[in-house]
Amino acid sequence: MFAEYLTRGVKAGVVAGLVFGLFMAVVANPLVAYTDELNHATVEESGHSHEAESAHSHETEGTHSHETEGTHTHEAEGTHAGEGGGHHDTAVSMAVTKVVSVAAGGLWGVVLGGAFFGVAFFFLEPAIPGPDAAKSYLMGLAGFITVSGAPWLVLPPAAPGAEQSLSVATRLPLYAGMMLAGALACLSAGYVYTRLRESSGSVAALVGAAVPFALLAALAVVAPENAVHGALSPTLETGLTGLFAFGQVLLWLVLAAAHARFRPSSASESESAIPTAGRDSAPAAD
């Protein structure tokens, strides 16, 4: 049975991975490359105005050696405008980044599908409220809150090239901590909902289930502030943040829909057969 659940989760992951890989290839890759380039051009522009011309060119050679290399190949190729050009301080070319990122997008779907809809769903299914198909969507919502939603309350997706006031060493534990807080909020909301619905009805249960999420939001307010400062226009940055958030919402939605869809037709029978068997055997034991 465990293997069936894992297979079903990974299958949903493959579907979502295909969709998200496509999103990476046709939307995120070109946009990140373009905004990186734009951002870098703006930074270079301001560098020109601040420094003497000779000092600036010297600095370019010193710190952005790879960047100049990238521009060189771009000139040699002639066709790919700015490919690798605006992408400074990097160990690999933009072309490699694009291919690896698309592959990572596909694997991202598979990993989330396997972990959340395979393993976690197997254990938590009995505790998730609602009919069978709704369980998949609730799992998707909980997964989104855990992996992205909760951390984003503190560290929303940053636009390419934006400077952030908190250091990476601070942000990584903060991100992980908010993921943990998000998971706990989802689990306790489910627990509170199930408990309260039995005792005081579904309205009280819904109110009770909202409490952990309110606590999560309060935690996000208390968490250290991360000021993001980029060279891009604020409107463009808002749009990029929104787009990347939308991408993750889409990923979880496809995961949940595919998972609900892949429900084996026999599963609903065997699920209902299990409690029946239990009830049958109980009087026999008496």
Partner 1 sequence: MATANTVNGRIERARTELSPTQMAAGALFIAALGFTLLFVQDPLVHDSLHNFRHAAGVACH
Q: How far is CA 218 from the centre of its chain?
A: 21
Q: Which is nearer to partner 1, 150 or 203 (CB)?
A: 150
The binder of partner 1 chosen from 17, 70, 148, 150 (CB under 8 A) = 148
Which of positions 227-246 make contact with partner 1 (CB under 8 A)? Answer: 244-245
- Compute CA distances 88 → 10, 45, 60, 95, 163, whole Å: 36, 15, 11, 14, 14
Tokens 């020109």 locate to 48
Which of positions 162-181 make contact with partner 1 (CB under 8 A)? Answer: 162, 164, 168, 171, 175
Q: Could you say whether residue 275 binds partner 1 (CB under 8 A)?
A: yes
Question: Which regions of 197-266 does DSSP assign to beta strands (E)?
Answer: 228-229
Q: Could you say whether residue 145 binds partner 1 (CB under 8 A)?
A: no
Nearest to 255 by CA among 41, 106, 154: 106
Nearest to 176 by CA among 149, 147, 156, 217: 147
Q: Which is nearer to partner 1, 92 or 217 (CB)?
A: 92
Supply the minimum distance, in Å, between the C-beta of residue 18 and partner 1. 15
Which of positions 182-211 make contact with partner 1 (CB under 8 A)? Answer: none
Q: Could you say whether residue 29 binds partner 1 (CB under 8 A)?
A: yes
Nearest to 110 by CA among 22, 34, 6, 184: 6
- Compute CA distances 263 → 45, 165, 258, whole Å: 56, 46, 9
**228 phi and psi angles, rounded to 5 deg:** -105, 130
Dihedral sign, Cα of residue 74, residue 76, residue 77, residue 81: positive
For residue 158, give the DSSP letter: P
Q: Could you say whether residue 8 binds partner 1 (CB under 8 A)?
A: no
Q: Which is nearer to partner 1, 78 or 185 (CB)?
A: 185
The binder of partner 1 chosen from 11, 17, 19, 97 (CB under 8 A) = 97
For the packed helices 2-23 and 94-112, what is the interaxial angle rounded to 10 degrees? Answer: 150
48-56, 89-97, 199-207, 260-268 -> range binding partner 1 (CB under 8 A): 89-97
| # binding residues, partner 1 (CB under 8 A) | 51
50-58, 76-84, 196-204, 276-284 -> range binding partner 1 (CB under 8 A): 276-284
For residue 261, count other CB atoms closer than 10 A to its CB.
Answer: 13
Q: Which is nearer to partner 1, 156 or 177 (CB)?
A: 156
Dihedral sign, Cα of residue 53, residue 59, residue 60, residue 61: positive
Q: Could you say whether residue 281 binds partner 1 (CB under 8 A)?
A: yes
Supply the minimum distance, in Å, between the C-beta of residue 90 and partner 1. 4
Which of positions 69-88 make contact with partner 1 (CB under 8 A)? Answer: 87
Q: Could you say whether residue 9 binds partner 1 (CB under 8 A)?
A: no
What residues make contact with partner 1 under the rule CB under 8 A? Answer: 1-2, 23-24, 27-29, 32-33, 87, 90-92, 96-98, 100-102, 104-105, 108, 111, 122-127, 148, 152, 156-158, 160-162, 164, 168, 171, 175, 244-245, 247-248, 271, 274-275, 277-278, 281
